[in-house]
Amino acid sequence: MNSYSQDIQTDIDAFQDCVQRLSSGVASAGTLWQDAQYASLASGISALAMRSRDVLVTGDRVCESINIFFSIASEEY
Amino acid sequence: MDVEREALISVKLALGTFQSEIAGIANTAASRRAGCEADCEYQIQDTQYKVEVLEEEVKRLSDRIAELEKRIEDDEYREHKISEALPPLYDKVDHMKYQLQELSAAEARIRNNLGRADEDSRDAMEDQLADIREMESSLMTAIHDTEDRISDMEAEKTRLISEINELSYEKSETENQLEQTKKRLYRYQDKLQRLKTAGNRLKDDFDAYVAAVEQFENISDASAAQKQLVLTQCISLVDEMESVFGR
């Protein structure tokens, strides 16, 4: 794996952790806070988590493209 | 109400942490992209340079082969001309040597008859002998000159044959080098094409990634800030109610 794709993979993993921690934090509050406002908040966070999928998918694609590019670049004849 | 307030605060904290962690991810993505794309550009330029160097090498080797072919052709022509010219010269030497033998025989015959000749005949025979000696001398000079010329031509022929062999060997080696260089050139040309294609794909993928990250950062920042504001208001409201009802 190329260092550029490793860096981006690290960014993506940290990003995923960050979104998951937010989702977990809000979910854990749900045991203490159950009303319409919480439901609205939880729904908003869930939508945000869904949007994070775009970052993960495009990030994976970039890593794959970087690896392909630098694999070709390393060819010597 | 205490329980709900605790929940509000924990969610507010989670949102605050999230907001600070997300802040700057778009800049990070753009920075990663800049570093990677600069290296990609270098890789493409480096491969382009190798292709150009190999193209020049192919041209240099092709020109050298053409030059060697021309020199071999010239040498072969000269060697052929010398080979054609030599047999008549050998024949000429043989003929002159034969003439020399004939003159020697004539000289011997005259000398043999010289003792028995009268005074008048003797003078004439002496004159003949002088003519024969002069002819012998001329013939020997001509034989010597022709043999020298033959020797020079044989040496030149040997040198040309040797040079033709050396040039042919160099041509063969250069042709092998050209074949290998062409193979490398075709591989690097193919690599360059594939790098450009992969580079274009990578650019498109970076466009999509950076756009997704920017969009997420903008949305999440505004969303988290708005939610935190609501939560702050809720917490203040809870605090106010607690002070009113004395809980």
Q: How far apart are CA B35 and CA A3, in angstroms?
A: 11
Q: Compute and round to an integer the Cα radius of gyration of chain A.
A: 18
Q: Is A25 on the interface with B (CB under 8 A)?
A: yes
Q: Are the Cβ atoms of B188 and A65 closer than 8 angstroms?
A: no
Record the pTM. 0.80
Complex ipTM value = 0.93
Closest-CA distance of chain A to residue B232, Å: 13
Cβ-defined contact of A77 to B187 (cutoff 8 Å): yes
Sole residue written with tokens 């600070």: B20
Neighbours of A26 (CB within 10 A): 25
Indicate the number of domains in chain B. Answer: 1
Task: Tokens for A5, please give them.
Answer: 């794709």
Give how far the C-alpha of residue B175 lies from the chain's centroid of Cα atoms, to the nearest Å. Answer: 11
Report pLDDT digits (tens) over A36-74: 777 877 888 888 888 899 999 999 999 999 999 999 999
Q: B105-129: per-residue pLDDT in tens?
A: 999 999 999 888 888 888 899 999 9
User: Is the Cβ–Cβ distance between B202 and B40 less than 8 Å?
Assistant: yes
| Interface contacts (A, B; CB < 8 Å) | 124
> Where in the sequence is the domain holding B163, given as residue range(s)?
2-245
- Residue B158 C-alpha from the chain's centroid: 33
* Structure tokens that stand for A28 in this block: 């854990």
Q: What are the Cα distances from residue B42, in Å, to B55, B190, B192, B193?
A: 20, 17, 12, 15
Q: What digits encode the pLDDT tens for the residues B182-217?
A: 999 999 999 999 999 999 999 999 999 999 999 998
Q: What is the CATH number of the domain that holds B161?
A: 1.10.287.950
